[in-house]
Structure 1
Amino acid sequence: MSLGELQPLLLQLEPEPGPLTPQILRALRAHGRPLRWAITAAEPQASGGCRLQIEAVILQSGGEP
């Protein structure tokens, strides 16, 4: 039985107004199960918002045993 594979992930996210953590987790879960993550950069945008760089380790589901 395969338990999955650990994959590094570098993600760019422009968050919407509101709580930040649920937005980050939702974006990470699109790639697998996030084991750990960190915001490693925040870049201001001309629109007044910001772009976040998130580095994570994701557990991707294993395929066939």
Structure 2
Amino acid sequence: MAERDTGLPGLPGLLGAALREGDVDGEAERRAVAAFRAARDAGVQAAPTRSQDDWRPRGSGAL
């Protein structure tokens, strides 16, 4: 099946542009990682996985 030329850069181009846009704020990145680790260590993310969020095939430990 041939792809249509829509004049748009396509998903790879859009993702690349989003990743390259602007400089990375190193301090903001460090704060985000610290917040994630604090929540993880506090057990905030210990909630069970909802069945609709579990994409594993049935029978492989899925809920």
What TM bracket, shorter-length normalisation?
under 0.3
Q: Normalised by the size of structure 2, how large is the TM-score?
A: 0.22
Q: Normalised by the size of structure 1, how large is the TM-score?
A: 0.21
